[in-house]
Amino acid sequence: MAEQSVPDNLGNDAAAPLVPDPEHGYGPAATADPVTDVPPVGARLDLPEAGEWKRVSPKYVMVEIVGTVVFLVIVCAAAGALWLLLDQTWAAWVGAAIALVTLISLAFEPRRVRSIGYQLRADDLLFRRGIMYQRFVSVPYGRMQLVDITRGPVARVLGLADLKFVTAAASSGVAIPGLAEADADALRDRLVELAESRRAGL
């Protein structure tokens, strides 16, 4: 049988082969739909979920509040001295503005502390902090050169410590604040062990 052609939407004859149709005799061969046959975009974004973040102690909020209050007292004292002793009116306005901004920031302190977290992954430590502007730092274990624990006066009273470690690149040094003393000691020992094993090539 000779090949038949069917007109397209513009009135031109397109050489499309006809195949038997049980109901109507002959019809054009089925072609793939360029829209419905496209794989879903979400399939390409199926990434593995991140691990569980370990957060710092909630008592670290008090450390931050005490530090902020001390800063506020110093600023107000300096502004008051300039205003009363040297008759600098602008100092009073500047001090009041700084005090207002500082007091507002105190309301977000618990949320900022909750945003601090870290993960011990297979080859590195991942650290994050920040609310509006989040910072993520990945530090490979093999690059850690120094792991240190520091305790400020307020943190020591609350039983907290800061874990600091320095790498070959000074810009990638990370400090994890507000850890319980026992957790800080255990994490320091674990990081030292991982760093030594990576440097040894194990």
Nearest to 60 by CA among 164, 184, 160, 171: 160
pLDDT of residue 145: 83
pLDDT at 135 over 60: yes
pLDDT of residue 200: 75
Q: Are strands 54-55 and 160-167 parallel, antiparallel or unpaired?
A: unpaired
pLDDT at 93 over 80: yes
Q: Residue 62 and residue 58: Cα distance in Å, rounded?
A: 8
DSSP 143: G
pLDDT at 201 over 60: yes
pLDDT at 14 over 50: no
Q: Once rounded to an integer, what is the mean pLDDT over residues 67-92?
A: 91
Whole-model pTM: value is: 0.68
Give the count of alpha carbons within 13 A of 64, CB side only: 21
Q: Which residue has the higher pLDDT, 1 or 124?
A: 124
* Chain centre distance of CA 22: 61
pLDDT of residue 94: 92
One-letter amino acid for residue 111 of the chain:
R
**Residue 165 main-chain phi, psi, to 5 deg:** -140, 145
Q: Which residue has the higher pLDDT, 107 or 9?
A: 107
